[in-house]
Amino acid sequence: MHLYMSGTPKNDAFQAVENQMCSHRLFSMHGDYAREVMKWLEMVKSGVRTFDHYCDYAPSAASRLERKDQEQQALLVQRGIEDEWVPYAEALRAASQGRTPSCPSHIMLDSGAFTAWNAGASVTLDEVKSAYSRFLTEEDGMFKEIWLINLDVIPGKKGRDPTPQELRTAIEESDRNLTALRAEFGDCVLPVFH
């Protein structure tokens, strides 16, 4: 069994260390998340494999980390906590230096259907195809494997159970989406079961 580290990447100093900590990443390609994933991909393609690589890649990182340090120290003082503070940059550098310079080699991309459904919105098949295609084109063969998750249709509405007809319709639409995505991308498209 493989565990995929999930979460929306932010192109920040923590990503380089997170990348060193796992070989498998799961990313949502829904809306704004897709933009962050593409920024992450550009960072990885640029050779960012350690915290120090990231500092070279984004020279303003040091000043941003210093500001965060100051904010956290002020918060601790405000709460009456007098623990010794280890600066973020020092902690990230230590965590990074203790690991092999690397990035994940196994990627799973998700359609974001649940994220959209949870917000009362939807995702179209064309949006998913476009997001998946863009990632696959721009990654340029740098990962060992990439899995794509089907655009599943989630039955019903948030806060209530689906009707039997909504269940049937969702299954039929999900199956059609799986067929269409597999026709476009092959067997790397994984079905979703509710």
Distance CA 173, CA 58 (A): 43
Domain assignment present for residue 184? The answer is yes
Domain assignment present for residue 127? The answer is yes
Side by side, which strands form the sheet with 106-110?
A: 5-6, 24-28, 106-110, 145-149, 189-190
Positions of the chain with pLDDT under 70 = 11
pLDDT at 11: 67
Domain assignment present for residue 178? The answer is yes
Domain assignment present for residue 62? The answer is no
Domain assignment present for residue 103? The answer is yes
- Structural domain that includes position 156: 10-53+99-190
Residues in the chain: 194
**Number of domains observed in the structure of the chain:** 1
Tell me: the pLDDT tens digits for 108-133?
999 999 989 888 888 999 999 999 99
Q: What is the pTM of this model?
A: 0.87
Characterize 122-137 residue by residue with b for buried, 16 or more Cβ atoms within 10 angstroms of its Cβ, and e for exposed.
ebeeebbbebbeebbe
